Amino acid sequence: MNGLHLSAELHACAGDPVWLTDATRLREAGLRAVVEAGLQPVGAVFHQFSGQTPDEPGGVTGVVLLAESHLALHTWPELGAVTLDVYVCNRSGDHSDQARQVMAAMQALFRPERVEQREVIRGAVTA
Amino acid sequence: MNGLHLSAELHACAGDPVWLTDATRLREAGLRAVVEAGLQPVGAVFHQFSGQTPDEPGGVTGVVLLAESHLALHTWPELGAVTLDVYVCNRSGDHSDQARQVMAAMQALFRPERVEQREVIRGAVTA
């Protein structure tokens, strides 16, 4: 169960605003990013929030489940902000490079001007 | 987008083994835990892995999407191990106590003998 968990908060996203508000396209992009990195999706669920007015699209929250763990994202179009998580366990091999590739691919969509990010090694100590 | 992300690795889980191998029951338990804590589920996806032999159940990976972000879990029955994530944004109020309640409820199912856990405050710095 040891693995690598990457997480990031993206601020001042300057990419196409559709990435902050279109659950269908984000789902496709998330699935594409994990497959292109060589990871194995086993499910996905994305939810489209309503905006504060009918004309204003809301944010998106979604997850791609992986055989190797998960990709999660949450968008706040009113803030131009996104949070990303990519967690891979290394039970069947070291997937750290693939996790970094997925994180980079997703950030490339959103084009944040500023990013806070961290890496946590999980479960390294065994019983 | 500021919020609290709790994560934990659970070792030597001594609870009913069904919690490590039954995606349907884990989905129900995850949904119940978030609702009882006062959080709002907006979707869920759980996947049942095959075991190494037909008689041996595999692990489960799953996520409950929340209006407030997500609960994610991954089980490794062959290791007696589980990873848990509870992430809540505090955009519509401080959900930190609810997040801790969900983490405690899920750990109570698995009854780990040893837990590594951490709390990360995310997105506290705004642009």
Q: What is the pLDDT of residue A1?
A: 76
Question: Does the beta-carbon distance from B11 to A66 stay under 8 Å?
Answer: no
For β-strands A69-76 and A81-89, DSSP reports them as antiparallel
Interface mutation target, options A4, A6, A9, A110, chain B, most CBs of B under 10 Å? A9
pLDDT value, residue B127: 44
Can B74 be counted among the known catalytic residues?
A: yes
Quote the pLDDT of residue A4. 96
Q: List residues in chain B touching A: CB distance below 8 A.
A: 1, 3, 5, 7, 9, 11-12, 42-47, 49, 61-63, 65-67, 69-70, 72, 74, 76, 79-83, 85, 87, 89, 91, 113-114, 116, 118, 120, 122-123, 125-127
pLDDT of residue B96: 95
With beta carbons under 8 A apart, name residues in chain B contacting A118.
Answer: 120
Rg over CA atoms, chain B: 15
Sheet containing B81-89: order of strands: B41-48, B60-66, B69-76, B81-89, B3-13, B112-122
The residues near A63 (Cβ < 8 Å, ≥ 6 apart) are: A44, A45, A46, A70, A71, A72, A73, B45, B63, B65, B70, B72
Q: Is B63 close to A46, i.e. CB distance below 8 A?
A: no
Residue ranges of domains in chain A, CATH in brackets:
3-60+70-84+91-119 (3.60.90.10)
Please give the pLDDT value at position A91.
79
Query: For A18-104, where are the E strands, in sequence order?
Result: 41-48, 60-66, 69-76, 81-89
Is A43 in contact with B45 (Cβ distance < 8 A)?
yes
Kindly report the pTM of this predicted structure.
0.94
Q: What is the pLDDT of residue A125?
A: 62
Establish whether B13 is a catalytic residue: no
Q: Alpha-carbon distance B110 to B105, whole Å?
A: 9
Identity at B65, one-letter amino acid code: L
Segments of chain B with pLDDT less than 50: 127
Q: Smallest Cα–Cα separation from B16: which of B7, B25, B8?
A: B25
ipTM of this complex:
0.93
Give catalytic status of residue A7 as yes or no: no
Could you report the average pLDDT of every consecutive run of 10 residues in chain A (127 residues)?
94 96 97 98 96 84 96 96 96 92 98 96 74
